[in-house]
Amino acid sequence: MKEGLSNRQIGAVGVYKTAEALFRNGYNVLVPLEDFAGYDLVAEINGRFVKLQVKTTTKLEPPYNTQYRFTLANGSAKKILYRHKQIDYVVCYATDLDKFWIHNVKNIRKITKKEYPHTGKDWTVFKNI
């Protein structure tokens, strides 16, 4: 990943990589025209729609560089966990490994989530969302 990208650009990379992975698994992908929809993508397959929020990181978290950390909440000043009425899944994407982790919003209990490189999956992880 090119150094010097803004956070918005890094986020856009994650959204488009997620869309690509969904396409490769047979989903239709819908993208909101504005940035305030509360989700990044809608995936549809066989008449079933799911809303996705994508979180992206470019590197392992210091100081030990053994894990990634993702925020599974929204809000800038005060973080609030996503609710199932807003979205169905949070997709976490690590650009340096090209790996994904998917979390059903119904199962999210903490604002941050640690993910480890060996647990990430490639684009096939989207087969059964």
Per-residue pLDDT tens over the stretch 4-38: 889 999 999 999 999 999 999 999 999 999 878 88
Residue 122 has pLDDT above 80, yes or no: yes
In 3D, which of 63, 62, 82 has the Cα closest to residue 71?
Answer: 82
Q: Considering Cα of 54, then 59, then 65, then 71, what sign does the dihedral take?
A: negative
- Looking at per-residue pLDDT, the higher value among 52 and 80 belongs to 52
Sequence-distant (≥ 6) Cβ neighbours of residue 93 within 8 angstroms: 14, 17, 18, 54, 55, 56, 57, 99, 100
Ranking 34-38, 44-48, 79-83 by mean pLDDT, the lowest is: 34-38
Sequence-distant (≥ 6) Cβ neighbours of residue 9 within 8 angstroms: none
Q: Would you state the pLDDT for residue 66? A: 94
SS (H, E, C) 34-53: CCCCCCCEEEEECCEEEEEE
Give the pLDDT mean for 107-122: 95
| Residue type present at position 13 | V
Q: Options 3.40.50.11710, 3.30.300.30, 3.40.1350.10, 3.50.50.60; which CATH number does 7-114 get?
A: 3.40.1350.10
Question: CA-CA distances (angstroms) from residue 89 to 7, 57, 64?
Answer: 21, 17, 28
User: What does residue 80 show for φ and ψ, rounded to 5 degrees?
Assistant: -125, 130
